[in-house]
Amino acid sequence: MLSCDDVPAEPLPATGAVAGIDMGVASLATTSDGEHLTNPRHLAASADRLAAAQRALARKKRGSKRRRKAVARVAALHAKVRRQRLDGAHKAALALVRTGASRTCARCGHSAKENRATQADSACTACGHTAHADVNAAVNILGAGLALRRAAGAA
């Protein structure tokens, strides 16, 4: 069986995309584009099995072979939850990288994969606006920040 240490890490190529991300409680994360990533609550999903394993462990006599097996079972359930969280975090990060803030046109707001012509250039397929991709992303972030400031002032 492979572990995380057996698989070499391969970093993704730099895209130049930027995004504001807020880690939350109700949702796992919220991006500056308004996208909400749901919190899968892995521990809650495994709570029944984990509670049963911990009760079984509490009934075992200290130092016994059966207690060692019960400890291993509880540890394995906790490790599974940890792996699920890591997997979810990796998938969420990859999704954010693949659908980054630099695909949205700063002029008309049209968002499409084709808007990012190259690593350095963005060209909107809807209105024809062209700009450096980082400048386009910076304008989008500025607009999102100003919108949040206006919303906070109105509240």
Smallest CA-to-CA distance from 30 within 96, 87, 108, 109 is with 96
Do residue 137 and residue 70 come from a single domain?
no
Do residue 87 and residue 123 come from a single domain?
no
Of residues 89 and 138, more confidently modeled:
89
Average pLDDT across the chain, whole number: 82
User: Which structural domain, as residue segments, surrounds residue 82?
Assistant: 23-99
Do residue 86 and residue 137 come from a single domain?
no
Cβ-count burial of 137 within 10 angstroms (0-12 exposed, 13-18 middle, 19+ buried)? buried
67 pLDDT higher than 60: yes
Looking at residues 121-147, what average pLDDT do you find? Answer: 82
Do residue 48 and residue 28 come from a single domain?
yes
At 122 the pLDDT is 84
> Whole-prediction pTM value?
0.57
Do residue 28 and residue 91 come from a single domain?
yes
The 10s digit of each residue's pLDDT in 22-64 is: 777 677 777 766 777 788 888 999 999 999 999 999 999 999 9
27: in domain: yes
Do residue 80 and residue 28 come from a single domain?
yes
Do residue 27 and residue 79 come from a single domain?
yes
